[in-house]
Amino acid sequence: MTTTAWTAVRVVRDRNAGLYLTAVVISGFGTSALWLASGVWVKDLTGSDGLAALCLLAMWAPTLAGPLLGTLADRTRRRPLLIGTSLLVAGLLLTLGGVDAPDRLWLLYAVLFVYGAAGVVHDAAESALIATAVDRSLLGDFNGLRTTANEGMKLLAPLAGAALYTAYGGAAVACLDAATFLLAAVVYALLRVREDRPRPPAGGRRERTVRAVEGARHLRAHPLLRPLVLAGGATMLCAGVSGALVYAVVEDLGRSPAYAGVLYAVQGAGSVTVGLLSGPALRRFGTRRFAAWGIALLSVAVALRAVPDVALAWVCSAAIGVGLPAVLIATLTAVQRETPAPLLGRVTATADTVVLSPNVLGLAAGAALVELLDHRLLLAAAGAALAVTAALLLRRPARPGPTATAGPSGPATP
């Protein structure tokens, strides 16, 4: 058995890790299906590429409030929080049956916005819970397997979502996603974890504000996390622009909007590959170089998407699937290793805000610019920006950071 396979087996054999990965597969299937179907849904109702891209914008926008939302993961027990957010999302999705005309799209956007906010809280709670349940030496492997499980759903879920949408409409896809979140809540309930009830926040508004920004202080002061997080933010800005152009790329290929599901499936195959290899790659290259080479590959793939060739579009989608998760896996693993447990929810949510919120700006910019400029010019510009980001990260070696510090703000507070 290879080293990669053996470490994967060690992770999966852990009961909590196996259950958590099961929940990721279940909820990830529904989420991947909805992401595609919501854009196709809006495209069919309005004919607008820009309005279709706003679906992703609505889901990503809550990351801007990450430091505030992340405090919930440090102020309450994390397993009940995972269960509660899953049930909330399932209930909201069932309201989308009434979206059958352009004047009802406000409901879709509103639900997607709350969906994204629940996701920010969910991710912070997951990261903090897993960091205490999985051996620190296996965190890179676990995060890689998580990416494989989550992104691997793009092999099946977008195609299944597109087929279900074509046959029964967007409401059916929303019901499917709701069912997956209900099942995920059941799986989270089976986790065996011992969590102490966090102390209730003390002090007035000023004290609560200080605690909310402790995550930002930790990231800013840490020599390893700071450059990784900044490079991740620049990468996701460009990825947002590229993502907003996917329907224009599909149209340039002479295919229907639902063909985006095929490209997402190919991208999922690339993500499965990098997820399986990320643990050994992180140990060999380190987080900074692993992230930088992933960004470099992404830059080439994004730029070449400007060429209207079906075979090349498949290759670029696979390369995007390999390159994009690299910086996310590297950053998350570094955050989990370099942050004390009581602070981990806030630091994770703050890092997510810095890394993921630029995707909101990129999606918004792409949705607006695709109506004004040739999408091929935009793809070339995004590819060039990514190449510069990779070069800067490779040229900026990070000094080793402490493995368990609270940063300059003093001891971490729950």
Q: What is the pLDDT of residues 381-395, one digit of tens each?
A: 999 999 999 998 887
Average pLDDT over residues 253-282: 82
Give the mean pLDDT of the chain: 80
241 vs 123, higher pLDDT: 241
Highest averaged pLDDT of the listed ranges 10-19, 71-80, 297-306, 359-368: 297-306
C-alpha to C-alpha distance for 266 and 278, rounded to whole angstroms = 19
Half-sphere exposure of 360 (CA within 13 A, CB side): 17
pLDDT digits (tens, 9 = 90+) for 126-138: 877 777 766 666 7
Q: With bands split at pLDDT 50, 70 and 90, how would you rate the model's confidence at 185?
A: very high
Domain ranges of the chain: 10-191+212-395
Looking at residue 246, what is its pLDDT?
86
Instruction: Choose between 164 and 49: higher pLDDT.
Output: 164
DSSP 261: H
Radius of gyration of the chain (CA): 20
- pLDDT for 314-361, tens place per residue? 999 999 989 988 888 888 888 888 877 777 777 877 888 888 778 878
Return the pLDDT at 412.
Answer: 30
- Whole-angstrom Cα distance, residue 301 to residue 312? 9
Query: What mean pLDDT do residues 39-68 have?
Result: 81
Residue 31 has pLDDT above 80, yes or no: yes
Tell me: domain 10-191+212-395, CATH 1.20.1250.20, correct?
yes
Q: What are phi and psi of 253, to 5 degrees?
A: -80, -5
Q: Are 247 and 49 in contact (CB under 8 A)?
A: yes
What's the average model confidence in pLDDT over 391-411? 51
Cβ proximity of 290 and 282 under 8 Å: yes
E-assigned strand segments in 275-344: none
Say what the alpha-carbon torsion angle 195, 7, 5, 129 is, to the nearest 10 degrees: 20
Q: What is the pTM of this model?
A: 0.67
The terminus-to-terminus CA distance of the chain in angstroms comes to 42
User: Tell me, what's the pLDDT at 211?
Assistant: 59
Cα–Cα distances in angstroms (integers) from residue 344 to residues 103, 145, 219, 302, in the given order = 42, 20, 11, 33
Task: Please choose, from the candidates 70, 138, 118, the residue with its C-alpha nearest in 3D space to the C-alpha of residue 343.
Answer: 70
